[in-house]
Structure 1
Amino acid sequence: MAGYKGSKINPKKFERGQIKIILMVLPLALFMLFPIIFIFCHAFKPMDELFAYPPRFFVSRPSLDNFENLFRTARTSGIPLSRYVFNTLLVTLLVVLGAVILSTLAGFALSKLRFKGKYAIMELNNAALMFVPVAVMIPRYLTINTLGITNTYFAHVLPLISMPVCLFLIKQFIDQVPDALIEAAYIDGASDFRVYRKIILPLIKPAIATGALLAFQQVWGDLQSSTYYISNDGLRTLAFYMSTLTSAASSNSIAGQGMAAAASLIMFIPNLILFIVLQRNVMNTMAHSGIK
Structure 2
Amino acid sequence: MLAMLRRKRVNRSWAGDIFLFLILAAVGYFMAMPLVFVISNAFKPINEILKFPPDFFVHHPTLTNFSDLYHLLAGSWVPFTRYIFNTFFIAILGTALHVLIASLAAYPLAKRRFPGRGALFGIVVLSLMFSATVTQITNYMTMSWLGFLDTHLAVIVPAIGSSLGLYLMKQFMEQIPDSLLEAAQIDGCSELRIFWSVVMPVVKPAWLTLIIFSFQGLWGAGGAAGSMYIYSEQLKTIDYALGQILAGGIIRTGPSMAATLLLLTVPILIFVLSQSSVIQTMSTSGMKD
Query: Contact 1:242–1:263 (CA<8 Å) still a contact in 2?
Result: yes
State the secondary structure of the residue aligned to 2:114: coil
Equivalent residue number for residue 129 of structure 1: 128
Which amino acid is the alignment partner of residue 280 of structure 1?
A: S
Equivalent residue number for residue 40 of structure 1: 39
Summarize the Cα distance change of 1:19–1:123 in structure 2 as closer, same or farther, 3 Å threshold: farther
Gapped regions of structure 2 (runs ≥ 5): 1-11
- Given the alignment, which residue of 250, 253, 256 partners 1:257? 253
Per-residue deviation, 1:231: 0.9
**Separation in 2, partners of 1:201, 1:282:** 14
Summarize the Cα distance change of 1:216–1:15 in structure 2 as closer, same or farther, 3 Å threshold: farther
Query: Contact 1:45–1:59 (CA<8 Å) still a contact in 2?
Result: yes
State the secondary structure of the residue aligned to 1:135: coil
Summarize the Cα distance change of 1:283–1:180 in structure 2 as closer, same or farther, 3 Å threshold: same
1:189-200 equivalence runs, <5 A:
189-200=188-199
Equivalent residue number for residue 63 of structure 1: 62
Per-residue deviation, 1:23: 3.4
Summarize the Cα distance change of 1:129–1:26 in structure 2 as closer, same or farther, 3 Å threshold: farther
Query: Contact 1:67–1:262 (CA<8 Å) still a contact in 2?
Result: yes
**TM-score, normalisation: structure 2:** 0.87
Query: Contact 2:110–2:174 (CA<8 Å) still a contact in 1?
Result: yes
2:90 paired with 1:94 = no
**Separation in 2, partners of 1:177, 1:154:** 34
Equivalent residue number for residue 6 of structure 2: none
Summarize the Cα distance change of 1:228–1:195 in structure 2 as closer, same or farther, 3 Å threshold: same
**Separation in 1, partners of 2:256, 2:67:** 12
2:273 paired with 1:274 = no
Stretch of structure 1 that moved more, 267-276 or 52-61: 52-61
Per-residue deviation, 1:258: 2.0
State the secondary structure of the residue aligned to 1:17: helix
Per-residue deviation, 1:50: 2.7
CA deviation map 1:165-186 (0-9, x unaligned): 2222222221221110101112
Equivalent residue number for residue 7 of structure 1: none
Query: Contact 2:44–2:61 (CA<8 Å) still a contact in 1?
Result: yes
Per-residue deviation, 1:136: 0.5
Equivalent residue number for residue 226 of structure 1: 226
**Separation in 1, partners of 2:128, 2:16:** 36
State the secondary structure of the residue aligned to 1:60: coil
Query: Contact 1:169–1:207 (CA<8 Å) still a contact in 2?
Result: yes
Summarize the Cα distance change of 1:194–1:268 in structure 2 as closer, same or farther, 3 Å threshold: same
Per-residue deviation, 1:118: 1.8
Per-residue deviation, 1:130: 1.9
Gapped regions of structure 1 (runs ≥ 5): 1-12
Which amino acid is the alignment partner of residue 48 of structure 1?
A: N
Which amino acid is the alignment partner of residue 233 of structure 1?
A: E
Query: Contact 1:45–1:62 (CA<8 Å) still a contact in 2?
Result: yes
**Separation in 1, partners of 2:258, 2:13:** 38
Per-residue deviation, 1:24: 3.5
Equivalent residue number for residue 29 of structure 2: 30
**Separation in 2, partners of 1:85, 1:123:** 39
Equivalent residue number for residue 10 of structure 1: none
1:96-175 equivalence runs, <5 A:
96-175=95-174
Which amino acid is the alignment partner of residue 243 of structure 1?
A: G
**Separation in 1, partners of 2:171, 2:280:** 12
State the secondary structure of the residue aligned to 2:58: coil
**Separation in 2, partners of 1:285, 1:126:** 26
Summarize the Cα distance change of 1:212–1:53 in structure 2 as closer, same or farther, 3 Å threshold: closer
Per-residue deviation, 1:284: 6.5
Per-residue deviation, 1:188: 2.5
Equivalent residue number for residue 9 of structure 2: none
State the secondary structure of the residue aligned to 2:60: coil
Query: Contact 2:159–2:218 (CA<8 Å) still a contact in 1?
Result: yes
**Separation in 1, partners of 2:164, 2:181:** 25
**Separation in 2, partners of 1:263, 1:69:** 10
